[in-house]
Structure 1
Amino acid sequence: MLSFSLGPLSLSIGHLLLITAFALALLVGGVLGRRYQLPVAGSVADIFLATMICARLGFVIGYFEHYRHDLFGILDIRDGGFDVIWGLAGAVGFTAFLLWRRKLVRRPLAIASITGLLFWGGTAGTIALIEQQARGIPPVTLTALNGDTIAVNQIAQGQPMVINLWATWCPPCIREMPVLDVAQNRYPGVTFVFANQREQAETIRAFLDKQNLKLNNLYRDSQADLARAVGSQGLPTTLFYNAKGQLMDTHMGELSNATLAKGLKKIIPGQP
């Protein structure tokens, strides 16, 4: 499963695990804080904030060329650009700093922080192991706007492939389309596939005309079979497959040039 849906709210599994780990650390910190009569929850929140800042900073530094001409984009975290290693380093470093400076809360804060970290690491690792067993391209058939059908695994013909699940009513899908439109021409060695979810051909054509888009490999996933097969509960969702048909990365939410480059780096040999 790539994402989780609760009513109109959809979250990637990665984000859901992170929020759950933070909530668990807050809960443990609150319980221990009452026991020791000490304010612990605030310190846990400080650690979470420092983690997010470091993770974002690390990602921006790594892909700064894509933000150079759009400095406002650095603050636009809707693209989901975070670096896990930088985030972990920030969490460990700032936790160590707080444990050193705030001696009174040292024990409960350490317990709360370790609880959240172990939960996140354990669940994320388990999910990663499970996903490794099902990383191939799903045996799903898509329909072209003219009515022709094709199996997803026959589209790329041995090339790396990027599959974008989208819909015309989805605002982040609309915002990211220019990025993907440019990319499909910039990377001729990658097959970009646009799988529209549950919409009629007339609706899609009208959208393309209005947005002045020419999308290659545009298909209808009329019953959302592909979305179900990959475990996507929200849009947009982008899947990155290497030339062997193995799923190497996923991204739920709006793509920026930087987050697209991150995914392409995992499927294009030698991509800087």
Structure 2
Amino acid sequence: MIGIGPFPIQVVTIIAAVLLAWLTARMVGRRMPGAPYKAAGSMILDAVVWGLLAARLAYIAQWWEEYSATPMAMIALGDRGFTWWVGVLVVVAYIWRRTRLTQALRAPVLAGAMGGVVAWVVAGGVLDLMQGSAPPLPDLQLATLDENPISLSEYAGRPIVLNLWASWCPPCRREMPVFEQVQTEFPDVAFVMVNQGESARQAQDFLDSEGLNLTDVLLDPSSTAMQTMRSRGLPTTLFFDAQGRQVDSHLGEITMPSLKDKMLRRFNSSSESGTDK
């Protein structure tokens, strides 16, 4: 998994695109007589704030049924749930409205906004290519809760959602009910929950205490999966297609809307709630 420090690479690319937009607006403004370049940079930042808010609200509206069931998930920005095209439209509309009386600002601010959007789109394409070259599903030797040996390759041939977790990890504990529910809505997908560094007793006691019924819980006492998949922390969720190619990843707690969204986009799967959207 690619990232810089604690930040996923997707977040880093957004920050870089915003910085580029701000710099572009100021540079273009400096070269235009009468254009207040400092105001141009400030307007870019204001537009980004409104764009992010609109993109988040649009995503919440799209997945309202799921968010209304767990309202606190609406402020869980770590799930990276945004409807980006809505955000871009709001950014352009905001800039157009704010500059209708100050035409000197319009060109540098729009130039900055377009530069940032182009940089973000190009970065997204590069990330998709890098994701496509990610290591395939590894043939790890793990164990069941009954401590019988099992190979991860036994799940090959159908889409796999691989979750790395531990019972001492608070976000891991919070997201477990999400996987429990979604596994019943996507029966053609294998949800493989690989416990990291704990014994069968520790894992089973946690599942029993929470009343969780997860179909495929495996043990990885030496945390080999984290090392093999270059995970930078727990929880980590990896998505593999039926050919064993990694098609997506998520570091940190995943919410119901974000998980279902990835399922529908990456696997073209359908669920009872997903087909209603």
TM range (shorter): 0.7 to 0.9
**Corresponding letter in the other structure for 2:148:** D
The unaligned stretches of length 5 or more in structure 1 are: none
Q: Which residue of 2 aligns with 1:25?
A: 21
Q: Which residue of 2 aligns with 1:166?
A: 165
Q: How far, CA to CA, are the matches of 2:95 and 2:197 in structure 1?
A: 47
Are positions 1:184 and 2:180 aligned together?
Answer: no
After superposition, the C-alpha distances for 1:215-252 in whole angstroms (9 at most, x for unaligned) are 32212344444334444323322223333333333333
**Corresponding letter in the other structure for 1:154:** E
**Corresponding letter in the other structure for 2:169:** C
Q: How far, CA to CA, are the matches of 1:60 and 1:153 in structure 2?
A: 36
Q: Which residue of 2 aligns with 1:15?
A: 11
State the identity as a percent: 30
**Corresponding letter in the other structure for 2:49:** L
Q: Residue 37 and residue 53 in structure 1: after superposition, are their counterparts in 2 closer, same or farther (change >3 A)? A: closer
Q: Residue 227 and residue 116 in structure 1: after superposition, are their counterparts in 2 closer, same or farther (change >3 A)? A: farther
After superposition, the C-alpha distances for 1:169-199 in whole angstroms (9 at most, x for unaligned) are 3222111111112223343332111122333
Q: Residue 267 and residue 106 in structure 1: after superposition, are their counterparts in 2 closer, same or farther (change >3 A)? A: same
Q: Residue 39 and residue 243 in structure 1: after superposition, are their counterparts in 2 closer, same or farther (change >3 A)? A: same
After superposition, the C-alpha distances for 1:67-122 in whole angstroms (9 at most, x for unaligned) are 34445543443433212333333334434444545423234323432332233222
CA contact (8 A) 1:80 1:253 kept: no
Q: How far, CA to CA, are the matches of 2:250 and 2:92 in structure 1?
A: 26
Superposition pairs for residues 186-201 of structure 1, below 5 Å?
Answer: 186-201=185-200
Q: How far, CA to CA, are the matches of 1:207 and 1:237 in structure 2?
A: 18
Q: How far, CA to CA, are the matches of 2:49 and 2:125 in structure 1?
A: 23
Residues matched between the structures, number? 267
Shift in Å at residue 148 of structure 1?
3.4
**Corresponding letter in the other structure for 1:118:** V
Q: How far, CA to CA, are the matches of 1:270 and 1:160 in structure 2?
A: 13
Are positions 1:113 and 2:113 aligned together?
Answer: yes
The unaligned stretches of length 5 or more in structure 2 are: none
CA RMSD of aligned residues (A): 3.0
CA contact (8 A) 2:25 2:110 kept: no
Larger radius of gyration: 2
Shift in Å at residue 268 of structure 1?
4.8
Q: Residue 46 and residue 188 in structure 1: after superposition, are their counterparts in 2 closer, same or farther (change >3 A)? A: same
CA contact (8 A) 1:184 1:192 kept: yes
CA contact (8 A) 1:29 1:41 kept: yes
**Corresponding letter in the other structure for 1:160:** P
Shift in Å at residue 13 of structure 1?
1.6
Superposition pairs for residues 1-272 of structure 1, below 5 Å?
Answer: 1=1, 3-4=2-3, 6=5, 10-29=6-25, 36=36, 38-71=38-71, 73-134=73-134, 136-155=136-155, 158-265=157-264, 266-271=266-271, 272=275
CA contact (8 A) 1:25 1:44 kept: yes
TM-score of the pair, normalised by structure 1: 0.81
